[in-house]
Amino acid sequence: MPGPALRIGAALSLLVLAATACSDNEQALTAPEPTPMGHTYISTEVTGAPIPGGGPLTLTFADDRISAEAGCNAHSGAVDLRDHLLHVSDLASTLVGCPGDRAGSDAWVDDLLRADPTWQLDQDRLTLTGKGTTVVLTDKKVLQPDRPIRGTEWVVTSLLTPDARISSQTVDQVRPTLTIGADDSLTGFAGCNRITGRAVVTDTAPGTDIAFSAATTRMMCTPEIMEVEQAILAVLDGTARATVDADTLTLRNPDGHGLTLRAG
């Protein structure tokens, strides 16, 4: 009797299809909601109390932590984003003294973040609302796309050690530079002497490696300048891991020493 058997088989097939559809729907319903975590945002609009000194406010979310800066000191701490509330723990801050109106930006940031503002994410646009202030921020990657490693003149802004980032008046005055050509040629200025050589760029997940081979002219300058130059040339001796964030390039050797550079 093939008729009943076919009907039973068809019914079982429909049940399997229905169960599969329900399973797919459940997976769709339980898909995680996008959050700001893993992104950096820059303010583009403030309603309510303006940022003293003009800002902008920069917020970085990474590894369940937040860092914030609006023109003076940097603040950081743990962050909880549940229920669309931005709740921060006690914030640690740098202790830089800032002139004029910018000095008031620290209190503005503290007031905003400690108010447990609500957050709403619409693609690349993050909106925070709390304590009479609404801040609209846009993903930094949209506002400031990453500059290419090749073809950009990079200006050294600080020296890196395994434990610190060192800025100095000497670095600011001599403005050391590096430029990597499309053919992996290397040119630049180490602070006293000109740099030539090779810089082979290789993309290796999750980052980029640059194999440096640098030579310089043989001039002598003041001890302060030569100290900066030696630190730069030490980074350009071998392979460094390169990371680009908007207009900032960070180079790190395996021993933790490196450079921070900005697009010129």
| Residue ranges of E strands in 205-254 | 207-216, 237-245, 248-252
Between CA 262 and CA 250 the distance in angstroms is 9
- Any residues with CB less than 8 A from the CB of 72 and at least 6 apart, and which? 53, 96, 98, 102, 103, 105, 106
Could you tell me if residue 17 is left (phi over 0), alpha (psi between -120 and 50 degrees) or otherwise beta?
alpha
CB contact at 8 A, 127 and 136: yes
DSSP strand pairing (65-69 vs 58-62): antiparallel
Task: Choose among 99, 103, 112: nearest CA to 52.
Answer: 103
The CATH number assigned to the domain with range 40-143 reads: 2.40.128.270
- Name the pLDDT band for 6 (thresholds 50, 70, 90): very low
pLDDT in tens, 20-67: 554 555 444 567 899 999 999 999 999 999 999 999 999 999 999 999
pLDDT in tens, 218-260: 999 999 999 999 999 999 999 999 999 899 999 999 999 999 9
The CATH number assigned to the domain with range 153-263 reads: 2.40.128.270
pTM for the whole structure: 0.66
Q: Looking at the chain, which residues constitute the CATH 2.40.128.270 domain(s)?
A: 40-143, 153-263
